[in-house]
Amino acid sequence: MQHFGSFDYVIAGAGSAGCLLANRLSRDPDSRVLLLEAGGSDDWFWIDVPVGYLYTIANPRTDWCYRTEPDPYLAGRSIHYARGRVLGGSSSINAMIYMRGQREDWDHWAALGNRGWSWDDVLPIFRSLEDYRAAPRRATARAARCASRTRACAGISSMPGARRPPSAASRR
Ligand SMILES: Cc1cc2nc3c(=O)[nH]c(=O)nc-3n(C[C@H](O)[C@H](O)[C@H](O)COP(=O)(O)OP(=O)(O)OC[C@H]3O[C@@H](n4cnc5c(N)ncnc54)[C@H](O)[C@@H]3O)c2cc1C
């Protein structure tokens, strides 16, 4: 058996949560942190590309390749259930979309007594994690037109309550 020494913290899983935790804990130079990962290196072209999930999902190099139980609501089918098995975990095989959740949900959780959970509390944290650069006005308008065409193709514009995408400024 290989001996790695002794540690103050041992973290199982170098996914989104494990990497963040290891980063924060190892800021203390007096703490020894061991981060264990079952999967391999994340040094692979398709991990850095948003559409790379076409190659990383259902690939045993990066995915645990789980399957769901057969589901009566899916006509008895069992479907693939992607979970990252690689450095970075599922964040290495995800779609790279920043998802903040709904303002109303965060404020509801805060109202239930969870201090620091309100939208105003979490928004600066989301922004600190995101790599967002404001697009020039013309590019933003073009993106909005593309998005509305995409919605129309998907039939979303006919749904009650469907709204225009928020401008980059209102999202910030
Ligand atoms: C296909 C896909 C697309 C997604 N798209 C988006 C998106 O666009 N935007 C977004 O915000 N979220 C997205 N998500 C969700 C997001 O990636 C996950 O919610 C997030 O990465 C989960 O983080 P986690 O730390 O809980 O788990 P993970 O990141 O999955 O990390 C768990 C880690 O633990 C390791 N592990 C498990 N068991 C052991 C063990 N016994 N010993 C050692 N290591 C172990 C795993 O290999 C893995 O690396 C997506 C998820 C998937 C699967």
Query: Across-strand partners of 80?
Result: 67
Distance from residue 82's CA to the centre of ligand 1 (Å): 9
Hey, what are 2's tokens? 């290989």
List per-residue pLDDT tens for the chain, 172 residues long: 778 889 999 999 999 999 999 999 999 999 999 999 999 999 999 999 988 999 999 999 999 999 999 999 999 999 999 999 999 999 999 999 989 999 999 999 999 999 999 999 999 999 888 876 655 655 555 545 544 444 443 433 333 333 333 444 444 4
Q: What pLDDT, on the 0 to 100 scale, is given for residue 141? A: 54
pTM for the model: 0.77
- Ligand 1 proximity of 91 Cβ (cutoff 6 Å): yes
Q: At which residue do the structure tokens 């590019």 appear?
A: 139
Q: Which of 36, 92, 94 to mutate to test the pocket of ligand 1 (most atoms within 8 A of CB)?
A: 94
Q: What pLDDT, on the 0 to 100 scale, is given for residue 45? A: 95
